[in-house]
Amino acid sequence: MGVSPLVWTLTIVVLVALTLFDYFFHVRKSHAPTLPEAAVWSASYLGIAILFGVAVMIFGDTTMGVEYFACYLSNEALSVDNLFVFLVIIGSFAVPRVAQQKVLLFGIVAATVARTAFIFLGAAFITLFGWAFYLFGVVLLVTAGNLVRPTASEGRTANLAVIRIAKRFLRTSDRYDGDRLFIDENGKRVMTPMLMVMIAVGGSDLLFAFDSIPALFGLTQNVYLIFSATAFSLLGLRQLYFLIDGLLDRLIYLSYGLAGILGFIGVKLMLQALHENNVPFINGGKPVPVGKVSTTVSLTVIVVVLVVTTAASLLSERGRVQNAVANARRHATEYLDRHYEVDPVEREKIFARLLREEGQIRALPMEYRARIRESDELMDLLERAHRAHDGYNGS
């Protein structure tokens, strides 16, 4: 692994300390984070991740530093795609906004532990089986192909097996009681939706590990760098969720960018597998003289793809339409749910956001407005939100 046990221990201690600090000084007291608050915390964790990468360059070497940053950026990009599923899960369980931070933190901690196990299993798999890189390459290429399919980019769902299993075999409740995980209901001890959501968030992130872990091994075989890049990217995922909340649906080309990155790493893995080949039925078990892609080239490709797809998404008219409609639907649903936010001031802020998004919809070109008006479900939802607001203010 190229890193001493002392460095491993110090890194784990720092990560645990950051998580505990985050919980006791920020998440423990349930509250809805403001945009400036989310921006400060996101910038802080990004700065810590960058400083760690600089330390890797100083105490290790430049190659290790480049590999770390390539792994961190790839994992961060793939984590943004996770946020779409987090949004669906939290919305489907109608998690009160003040409780969302705690749900995300516990879910992400569980995912970090599970991903660490996957990393060590992946390292053992590569060591024991010479054909492992072929398998990882195929997995990434298949995943890249799935991401460019319309159903993959538009059909994100929270219908996870972990949710169905939990509901079938565990006693669950449909009501929240603050941030409690268990309550007594009809004389029985049952799980609240809070614990269900934590299980769902952790389970969904675990599913994403099947894509991200092979991709990281395609960038480096240094387990320490893969572990640290994964841990630091997940550590800042909760803050990123609240920072880009409301902009997720605008990233309409993100799936294509991720497909390009995973496809590129998949090809890189295949070339590496051929270069180190020992599979008997390929070239008689001898290495195949093919070129190799350096980690510096990989990092450059990752950065360019992410910049291009993000810029294209933010400049896209279709992305602006999709984002406005999704946010209007979400805020109307939140306003109609009296359990989502009980503070009158915060409820008024939700309705103000809804009005702003309706204004954005009215400012769209005629062809988009006509298409939106054809959605009876959306129009009915917005009308009910306005009636509820009028009735609340008139009472």
Nearest to 245, CA basis, from 109, 83, 36, 108:
83
pLDDT tens by residue, 14-69: 999 999 988 888 777 767 677 788 888 889 999 999 999 999 999 988 999 999 99
**What pLDDT is recorded for position 163?**
59
Q: What is the pTM of this model?
A: 0.82
At 174, which helix (H) or strand (E)? none
pLDDT tens by residue, 228-242: 999 999 888 888 888
Pairwise CA distance, residues 387 & 391, whole Å: 6
Those residues whose C-beta lies under 8 Å from the C-beta of residue 52, and which sit 6 or more positions away, are 68, 228, 232
Q: Domain map of the chain by residue range?
A: 5-315, 318-394
Q: How far apart are the first and last CA of the chain?
A: 67
Pairwise CA distance, residues 391 & 176, whole Å: 25
Residue 46, SS3 per DSSP: helix
Q: Average pLDDT, whole number, for the chain?
A: 83
Pairwise CA distance, residues 352 & 329, whole Å: 13
The residue among 166 and 373 whose pLDDT is bigger is: 373
pLDDT tens by residue, 244-280: 776 777 888 888 998 999 999 999 988 888 888 878 8
Pairwise CA distance, residues 319 & 252, whole Å: 6
Phi, psi of 94 (to 5 degrees): 50, 50
Instruction: Look at phi and psi of residue 121 and say left if phi exceeds 0, alpha if psi is from -120 to 50, else beta.
Output: alpha
